[in-house]
Chain A
Amino acid sequence: MGFRTAVSTSTGLAFAALQYLAAAGLVAYVAGDSAWISIGVAGLLALLAWGFFGELNGMFPTAAAIRRYMGQAMDDRVALSITFTYLTTIVLVVAADAFIVGAALTHVLHVPTGLTALWTLVLLGLAVGSNLRGVKVAGWVQDVATTLVLTVTTVVSVVALARSGTPLHTPLQPFHHRSGTDFVESVALGIFLYSAFEWVTTNVEEVRDPRHIHRAMFLAICILFAVCAVMTTAMSHLLDHGQLTSPYPQLPLGRRAFGTAGVWLMTAVTAVTAVNTFNGGFVTASRFLYATAREGSLPPVLARLNDRAVPWVPVVVLGVASFFVAVVVEVVGGSEWQVLVAMGAALEAMIYAVAAFCVLRLRGRLADHHRPFRVPLVRVLAVLGIVVFGVLGVVASVSVSNRFDPVPLVIILVLGAASGVYTVRVVPRLRAAELERRAAVRPRRRPLPGGSGPGTDAMADPGPAP
Chain B
Amino acid sequence: MSDVATAEELAEAYRDWRVRCNANPRLAKMLRGWDRTVHLVTSDTGEGYTLSVAGSVLGELRSGLVGAPDLVVTATSEDFTDLFWGDLNPSEKYLNGEIVLAGSSEDVMRLDAMSMVAFLDQ
User: Could you tell me which A residues sit within 8 Å of B by CB distance?
Assistant: 1, 60, 62-64, 67-68, 134, 136, 202-203, 205-206, 283, 287, 290-291, 294-296, 300, 303-305, 307-311, 442, 444-449, 459, 461-466
| Pair B106/A134 contact, Cβ less than 8 Å | yes
| Pair A305/B95 contact, Cβ less than 8 Å | no
Residues from chain B with a CB closer than 8 A to the CB of A307 are 26, 29-30
| Pair B82/A461 contact, Cβ less than 8 Å | yes
Residues from chain B with a CB closer than 8 A to the CB of A203 are 105
| Pair A466/B122 contact, Cβ less than 8 Å | yes
Name B13's closest neighbour in chain A (CB-CB).
A446
Name A204's closest neighbour in chain B (CB-CB).
B102
The 5 lowest CB-CB distance pairs between A and B, nearest first, are A294-B91, A446-B85, A309-B113, A464-B116, A445-B85
| Pair A462/B101 contact, Cβ less than 8 Å | no
Residues from chain A with a CB closer than 8 A to the CB of B95 are 64, 67-68, 291, 295
Residues from chain A with a CB closer than 8 A to the CB of B117 are 305
Known contacts A305-B122, A446-B82, A463-B119, A291 near B91 by CB under 8 Å? yes
Q: Does B62 contact A (CB under 8 A)?
A: no
Q: How far is the CB of A403 from chain B (nearest CB, A)?
A: 42
Residues from chain B with a CB closer than 8 A to the CB of A294 are 89, 91-92, 112, 116
Chain B interface mostly: helix
Q: How far is the CB of B43 from chain A (nearest CB, A)?
A: 14
Q: How far is the CB of A340 from chain B (nearest CB, A)?
A: 27
Residues from chain A with a CB closer than 8 A to the CB of B88 are 461-463
Known contacts A294-B92, A449-B1, A308 near B105 by CB under 8 Å? no
Name B102's closest neighbour in chain A (CB-CB).
A205
- Bound-state Cα–Cα, A68 to B92, Å: 11
Name A202's closest neighbour in chain B (CB-CB).
B105
- Bound-state Cα–Cα, A86 to B113, Å: 26
0/1 interface trace, chain B 80-122, chain A, CB 8 Å (1 if under): 0110011111111011110011111110111011011101101
| Pair A287/B91 contact, Cβ less than 8 Å | no
Known contacts A60-B97, A446-B81, A446-B82, A303 near B116 by CB under 8 Å? yes
Residues from chain A with a CB closer than 8 A to the CB of B26 are 307
Within 8 A of A (CB), among B54-101: 81-82, 85-92, 94-97, 100-101
Name B26's closest neighbour in chain A (CB-CB).
A307
0/1 interface trace, chain B 1-26, chain A, CB 8 Å (1 if under): 10000000000110010000000001
**Interchain residue pairs with CB less than 8 A apart (30):** A62-B97, A62-B100, A62-B101, A63-B108, A64-B95, A136-B106, A205-B105, A205-B108, A206-B105, A287-B109, A291-B91, A294-B89, A296-B92, A303-B116, A304-B122, A305-B113, A305-B116, A305-B117, A305-B122, A307-B26, A307-B29, A309-B30, A309-B109, A309-B110, A442-B86, A462-B88, A464-B89, A464-B115, A464-B122, A465-B89
| Pair B29/A295 contact, Cβ less than 8 Å | no
Chain A interface mostly: loop
Residue from B101, B110, B120 in contact with A205 in the complex, judged by beta carbons closer than 8 Å = B101
Number of A-B contacts (CB under 8 A): 112
Name B99's closest neighbour in chain A (CB-CB).
A62
Q: How far is the CB of A463 from chain B (nearest CB, A)?
A: 5
Name B83's closest neighbour in chain A (CB-CB).
A463
Residues from chain B with a CB closer than 8 A to the CB of A462 are 87-89
| Pair B105/A295 contact, Cβ less than 8 Å | no
Residue from B29, B30, B104, B119 in contact with A464 in the complex, judged by beta carbons closer than 8 Å = B119
Name A454's closest neighbour in chain B (CB-CB).
B85
Residue from A305, A310, A461 in contact with B87 in the complex, judged by beta carbons closer than 8 Å = A461
- Bound-state Cα–Cα, A308 to B113, Å: 10
Known contacts A62-B97, A305-B122, A309-B113, A463 near B89 by CB under 8 Å? yes
- Bound-state Cα–Cα, A18 to B86, Å: 45
Q: How far is the CB of B20 from chain A (nearest CB, A)?
A: 10
Q: How far is the CB of B122 from chain A (nearest CB, A)?
A: 6
0/1 interface trace, chain B 21-48, chain A, CB 8 Å (1 if under): 0000010011000000000000000000
| Pair A444/B30 contact, Cβ less than 8 Å | no
Q: A205-B105, A295-B95, A307-B30 are in contact. List 20 more A-B contacts (CB 8 A).
A: A63-B105, A64-B97, A205-B108, A206-B103, A206-B105, A283-B105, A287-B105, A294-B112, A294-B116, A300-B122, A304-B122, A305-B109, A305-B116, A442-B86, A446-B13, A461-B92, A462-B88, A462-B89, A464-B120, A466-B120
Known contacts A294-B89, A294-B92, A305-B30, A442 near B97 by CB under 8 Å? no
Name B106's closest neighbour in chain A (CB-CB).
A136
Q: How far is the CB of B107 from chain A (nearest CB, A)?
A: 9
| Pair A442/B30 contact, Cβ less than 8 Å | no
Known contacts A445-B87, A461-B87, A64 near B94 by CB under 8 Å? yes
- Bound-state Cα–Cα, A64 to B89, Å: 15
Name A446's closest neighbour in chain B (CB-CB).
B85
> A67, A205, A296, A442: which has the most chain B beta carbons within 10 Å?
A205
Residue from A134, A291, A310, A311 in contact with B94 in the complex, judged by beta carbons closer than 8 Å = A291
Name A292's closest neighbour in chain B (CB-CB).
B95
